[in-house]
């Protein structure tokens, strides 16, 4: 007996189609996780399992959209973008996604199944659900990072699988208590380079070790960036694009009470989140510092007394291509115009922050992007514009080497 099609031959299908049609009505693709949260708040009848099923279906559509478009239209001229995807009916979209999940013995639709399988075996970007726009960038990445064919395939295949959850220990003295609590709650995890990868979890957010700030949720690749900051002395560190403060807290935890970490973000509400998380974790060395993103007219008093800051982390605004596993919708918002604007912003940040960096000080530039245009190209431009900067190392971390997001960081030293 042939199994029913997963997305279309289910009582949930009409609701799924309606949710997708609501998303199609958005000319500009929103941040889909937040958008779905709003939809589910209005849909009181959906239980927890229903909400998870619909969310997984929507994200499957976003992950494999270009593949579905190629199967439906059999055209070489497709861009695989949101404008094209929003024109495809929900019924046809989820029909193809159902076939993609079906085994090779699906006999009711042999022609369509064969067409889809042929596309997937072609190993083009489309076969992995990525728009052709990214092909030259991926070729450059393969060369720059010296990826083997197997590493490239791993990188692409993981784009269609949500990244696992990683934890970081905020308070090493209480690490054993955190391990015991995870074991008591049936949570399975592995430890790699001091990062904890959660393999299986139930009600993770209810854990006391997270509530008390003993552990923090932070991706493996992000942890590698925070670990690059030099904390051997008692430094003043400025995290100038701190966001919610994940790396800020990591740096403060590594300082163990020595030195200070100043967290800034142009979004003031983010600093409230940093304060809350720092207090929960018991990290008194975290100070929040409002900054409008422009050059400083006068340094804060603590910096003046120190002759500037000892280290700066620029966790730059970027395309987010390295987080496609969590936010596949972002690949539909990335185009040449956006990349050009982001690159100008990224290069400009160096000029704005360097005047407050001490001679001999360390500067870490980081993005959650794998695109060379936002990484190696930005570093090359910064070195050309600022001869006093010297590059010590630069690298991609995370996927494909580790089962995580993909991020980039460069370590530079100020010799001027």
Alpha carbons within 13 angstroms on the beta-carbon side of residue 390 total 8
Closest by CA position to 259, among listed 230, 227, 291: 230
- Alpha carbons 399 and 394: distance in angstroms, whole number: 16
- Alpha carbons 327 and 159: distance in angstroms, whole number: 10
Sheet (strand 165-169) strand order: 188-192, 195-200, 165-169, 215-217
Burial of 165 (0-12, 13-18, 19+ CB in 10 A): middle
Distances (CA, A) of 386 to 136, 151, 170, 352, 363: 29, 34, 35, 12, 12
Cα 300 to chain centroid distance, Å, stands at 32
Report the SS3 class of residue 198: strand
For residues 351 and 312, the answer to whether their CB atoms sit within 8 Å is no
Q: C-alpha angle 264/266/268, rounded to 5°?
A: 80
| Candidate list 209, 240, 368, 397, residue with the active-site label | 368
In order, the DSSP letters of 161-178 are SPPPEEEEES-GGGHHHH
- Alpha carbons 398 and 406: distance in angstroms, whole number: 5
In terms of DSSP bridges, do strands 195-200 and 188-192 run parallel, antiparallel, or are they unpaired?
antiparallel
In terms of DSSP bridges, do strands 406-414 and 389-398 run parallel, antiparallel, or are they unpaired?
antiparallel
Is 368 considered catalytic here? Answer: yes
273-298 burial, b at 16+ Cβ within 10 Å, e below that, comes to bbeebbebbebebbbbbebeeeeeee
- Alpha carbons 254 and 249: distance in angstroms, whole number: 9
337-355 burial, b at 16+ Cβ within 10 Å, e below that, comes to eebeebbeebbbbbeebbe
- Alpha carbons 394 and 391: distance in angstroms, whole number: 8
- Residues acting as catalytic residues: 368
């Amino acid at each position: 007996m042939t199994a029913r099609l997963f997305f279309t031959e289910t009582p949930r299908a009409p609701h799924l189609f309606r949710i997708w049609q609501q998303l199609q009505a958005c000319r500009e693709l929103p941040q889909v996780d937040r958008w779905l949260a709003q939809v589910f708040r209005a849909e009181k009848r959906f239980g927890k399992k229903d909400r998870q099923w619909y969310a997984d279906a929507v994200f499957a559509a976003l992950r494999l959209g270009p593949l579905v478009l190629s199967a439906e239209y059999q055209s070489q001229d497709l861009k695989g973008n949101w404008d094209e995807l929003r024109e495809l009916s929900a019924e046809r979209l989820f029909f193809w996604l159902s076939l993609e999940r079906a085994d090779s013995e699906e006999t009711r639709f042999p022609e369509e199944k064969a067409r889809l399988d042929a596309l997937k075996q072609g190993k083009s970007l489309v076969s992995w659900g990525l728009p052709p726009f990214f092909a030259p960038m991926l070729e450059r990445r393969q060369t720059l990072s010296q990826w083997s064919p197997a590493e490239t395939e791993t990188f692409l295949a993981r784009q269609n699988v949500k990244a696992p959850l990683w934890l970081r220990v905020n308070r090493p003295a209480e690490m054993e208590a955190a391990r015991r609590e995870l074991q008591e709650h049936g949570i399975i995890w592995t430890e790699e380079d001091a990062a904890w990868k959660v393999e299986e979890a139930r009600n993770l957010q209810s854990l006391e070790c997270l509530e008390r700030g003993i552990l923090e949720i932070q991706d493996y690749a992000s942890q590698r960036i925070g670990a690059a900051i030099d904390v051997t002395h008692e430094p003043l560190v400025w995290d100038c694009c701190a966001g919610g403060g994940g790396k800020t807290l990591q740096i403060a935890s590594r300082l163990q009470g020595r030195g200070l970490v100043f967290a800034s973000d142009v979004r003031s509400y983010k600093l409230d989140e940093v304060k809350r998380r720092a207090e929960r974790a018991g990290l008194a060395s975290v100070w929040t510092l409002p900054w409008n993103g422009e050059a400083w007219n006068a340094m804060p008093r603590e910096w003046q007394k120190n002759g500037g800051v000892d280290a700066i982390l620029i966790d730059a605004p970027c395309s987010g291509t390295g987080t496609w596993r969590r936010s596949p919708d972002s690949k539909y918002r990335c185009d040449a115009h956006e990349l050009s604007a982001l690159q100008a912003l990224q290069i400009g940040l160096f000029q704005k922050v360097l005047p407050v960096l001490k001679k001999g000080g360390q500067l870490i530039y980081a993005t959650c992007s794998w695109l060379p245009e936002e990484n190696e190209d930005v570093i090359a431009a910064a070195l050309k514009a600022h001869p006093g900067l010297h590059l010590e190392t630069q690298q991609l971390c995370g996927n494909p080497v580790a089962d995580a997001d993909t991020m980039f960081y460069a370590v530079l030293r100020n010799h001027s």
